[in-house]
Structures are given as structure tokens and as C-alpha cells.
């Protein structure tokens, strides 16, 4: 399996799942490991929510 195929399998879940048994067996572990967060961990993750800030500016003009 070429380096390109290994990296693609690490990055692309659909591609990885399409590998046959022999290819899956020789695929090395990803150097970043498995990242599997629970729903609670996802909710607590920094940047996991978005905040909308609305700024209203009031401009008045005084008679000259």
C-alpha cells in the first residue's frame, strides 16, 4: 500500500471503510490515534458553540 493510500485511509473514513480485509490488516495505525469524543465532551469543547453579538449604533444629528 502506497504512502498516498495510507494517508488517504487515515483522513477519509469512506475510503478506509471501502478497503478490503487484506488492505485493512496492513494499514498502520494513524499517528494521531483515535479521536472519539462523547456528546458531553463535544458540548464542552472550546469553540463547540457559536455566539452571535449584535451591535446597534445610534447616530443623532444636532441642528446647526
pLDDT of residue 41: 81
Please tell me the distance from the alpha carbon of residue 25 to that of residue 40, in angstroms, as a whole number: 32
Q: Transcribe 4-64 into DSSP letters.
A: HHHHHHHH-HHHHHHS-HHHHHHPPPPTT------HHHHHHSTTSS---------------
Q: Identify the pLDDT of residue 22.
A: 94
Q: Kindly report the number of other CB atoms within 10 A of residue 30's CB atom.
A: 14
Q: Which pLDDT score, from 0 to 100, does residue 64 have?
A: 62
Query: Among 8-12, 21-25, 51-55, which stretch is predicted with the lowest mean pLDDT?
Result: 51-55
| pLDDT for res 52 | 72
- Between 43 and 2, residue with greater pLDDT: 2
Q: What is the pLDDT of residues 12-50, one digit of tens each?
A: 989 999 999 999 999 998 888 777 778 888 777 776 566
Amino acid at each position: 500500500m502506497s504512502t498516498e493510500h495510507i494517508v488517504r485511509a487515515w483522513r477519509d473514513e469512506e475510503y478506509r471503510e471501502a478497503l478490503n480485509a487484506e488492505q485493512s490488516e496492513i494499514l498502520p495505525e494513524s499517528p494521531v490515534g483515535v479521536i472519539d469524543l462523547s456528546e458531553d465532551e463535544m458540548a464542552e469543547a472550546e469553540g463547540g458553540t457559536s455566539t452571535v453579538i449584535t451591535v446597534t449604533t445610534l447616530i443623532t444629528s444636532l441642528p446647526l
